[in-house]
């Protein structure tokens, strides 16, 4: 049995890094954590000011200061109008943010614009002396706050989508060792770390694929897929073909050192643990059912996973009814 990339006891004893995302198990950049923290702080402050302080204290007092004959009646009218405005704007901007595609992502532009609009109109409550303008201003304030709130709430479901519920728990150390023995190579440390977080997907119906119809395979699935490929391409591990990349990937139909970790009806991404000298152990290649195998798509599992995560974070994907999630082409 080949040695694994890390001693099981040491790996299990080592504390998990504090910057791992709970749904993916991958490190979150500090810039991402700061951005999320600042956004939710801004939302909390403005929303609390708008609904708690302004609605219950400052707005009633402002109406009295303006000498309104029936401030309580006008306050009730304003609250009724803004309730309808809030309901409509929450639905509208939540829907708009679902369909937004930008360099800043789907939600961020709406959160930022809503925060700016909410802040300006909150300031207007304290300076406008006309009750009609004050009512319109407060309605715009609710528009801005809901423009910020609806996409911000949607961020939570973006980060823990329905697909995340299909992810299994961590793989056992003995299973990881068995997988390493099956391919006859040490498994890359980043791939082992991923398995210790999630042992693939529990997706028997194939209705909740990770993306592009690919299901993330667990240890048992990877072993079964490896065995299946060995049976299908029996005797062809040493038969050269001319459409592989000759300096990085071995020019054969199948190799024991290829570990397929995603699957879509036989095709999928795989770790190349037995590359040629110009290649890199652990590079990610794409295994089609037939056709050409291109250059290694990514130099490592981390590079592959990071690009997928970045596309999800930037909203660079589409959801098609009955056809799953599709990542945008570069």
Predicted TM-score of the model (pTM): 0.50
pLDDT of residue 315: 67
**Cβ contacts of 170 within 8 Å, gap of 6 or more:** 195, 196, 197, 198, 199
Domains and CATH numbers, the chain: 30-160 (no CATH), 165-327 (3.40.1580.10)
Distance in angstroms between the alpha carbons of the first and the last residue of the chain: 41
Q: How far is CA 100 from the centre of its chain?
A: 16
**Cβ contacts of 107 within 8 Å, gap of 6 or more:** 97, 100, 151, 152, 154, 155, 158, 315
Per-residue pLDDT tens over the stretch 273-317: 888 888 888 889 888 766 555 556 788 888 888 887 777 767 676
Q: Within the chain, which residues score under 70 in pLDDT?
A: 1-30, 32-33, 36, 39-40, 43-44, 46-51, 153-164, 203-212, 234-246, 251-253, 289-296, 313, 315, 317-326, 328-330
pLDDT of residue 219: 93
pLDDT of residue 136: 92
Q: What are phi and psi of 293, to 5 degrees?
A: -100, 115
Dist CA 298 CA 284 (whole Å):
5
pLDDT of residue 118: 84
Q: What are phi and psi of 283, to 5 degrees?
A: -65, 150
- Tokens linked to 292: 């050409």
């Amino acid at each position: 049995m080949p040695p694994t990339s890390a001693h099981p006891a040491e790996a299990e004893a080592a504390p998990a890094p504090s910057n791992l995302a709970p749904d993916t198990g991958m490190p979150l950049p500090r810039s991402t954590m700061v951005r999320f923290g600042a956004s939710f702080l801004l939302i909390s402050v403005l929303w609390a000011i708008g609904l708690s302080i302004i609605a219950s204290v400052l707005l009633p007092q402002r109406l009295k200061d303006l000498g309104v004959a029936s401030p309580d009646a006008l306050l009730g009218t304003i609250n009724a109008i803004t309730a309808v405005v809030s309901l409509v704007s929450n639905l509208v901007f939540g829907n708009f943010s679902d369909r937004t595609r930008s360099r800043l992502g789907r939600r961020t532009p709406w959160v930022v614009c809503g925060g700016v609009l909410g802040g300006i109109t909150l300031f207007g409550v304290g300076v406008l002396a006309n009750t009609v303008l004050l009512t319109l201003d407060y309605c715009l304030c609710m528009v801005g706050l809901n423009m910020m709130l609806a996409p911000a709430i949607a961020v939570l479901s973006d980060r823990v989508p329905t697909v995340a519920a299909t992810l299994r728990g961590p793989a056992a150390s003995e299973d990881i060792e068995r997988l390493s023995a099956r391919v006859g190579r040490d498994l890359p440390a980043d791939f082992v770390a991923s398995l210790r977080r999630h042992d693939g997907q529990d997706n028997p119906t194939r209705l909740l694929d990770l993306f592009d119809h690919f299901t993330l395979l667990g240890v048992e699935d990877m072993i079964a897929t490896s065995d299946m490929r060995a049976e299908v391409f029996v005797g062809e591990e040493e038969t050269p073909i001319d459409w592989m990349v000759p300096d990085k990937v071995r020019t054969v139909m199948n190799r024991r050192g290829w570990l397929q970790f995603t699957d879509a009806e036989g095709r999928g991404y795989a770790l190349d643990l037995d590359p040629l000298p110009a290649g890199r152990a652990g590079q990610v290649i794409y295994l089609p059912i037939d056709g050409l195998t291109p250059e290694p798509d990514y130099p490592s599992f981390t590079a592959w996973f990071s690009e997928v995560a970045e596309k999800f974070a930037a909203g660079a994907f589409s959801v098609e009814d009955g056809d799953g999630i599709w990542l945008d082409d570069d």
